[in-house]
Amino acid sequence: MLCRFMSPDGRCTGKYEGYACIKSDCAYWRESHSCEHHDPTGDYCRRFARFGCVGKDCCESLSDYLRAVSDAESA
């Protein structure tokens, strides 16, 4: 999953700040997998036809999605 809270070194910069990515134990990770647009066979957003979930709070529009991806990559 493309997590906007994961730093380049794999540390969490979000709710679990300081810990290495905890994936399936992370509330954000679970939320992305409960999204109706998330492809269950992989980390793919069917709504915007792109790899990586940015979370429901960042996918109202394609511009919101792209901004979240950009913010995650620049972090």
CA distance 11 to 24: 15
Q: Quote the CA–CA distance of 70 and 74 in Å, as a whole number.
A: 6
Mind listing the pLDDT tens digit for each residue in 24-71?
A: 888 877 877 788 888 877 678 899 998 877 777 788 899 988 888 887
3-state secondary structure 36-55: CCECCCCCEECCCCEECCCC
The reported pTM is 0.59
Provide the token pair at 61. 């529009």
Confidence at residue 30, expressed as pLDDT on a 0 to 100 scale? 80
Find all residues with CB under 8 Å of 46, minimum gap 6, and list them: 37, 38, 39
Contact 43, 1 (CB under 8 A): yes
**Residue 37, pLDDT score:** 87
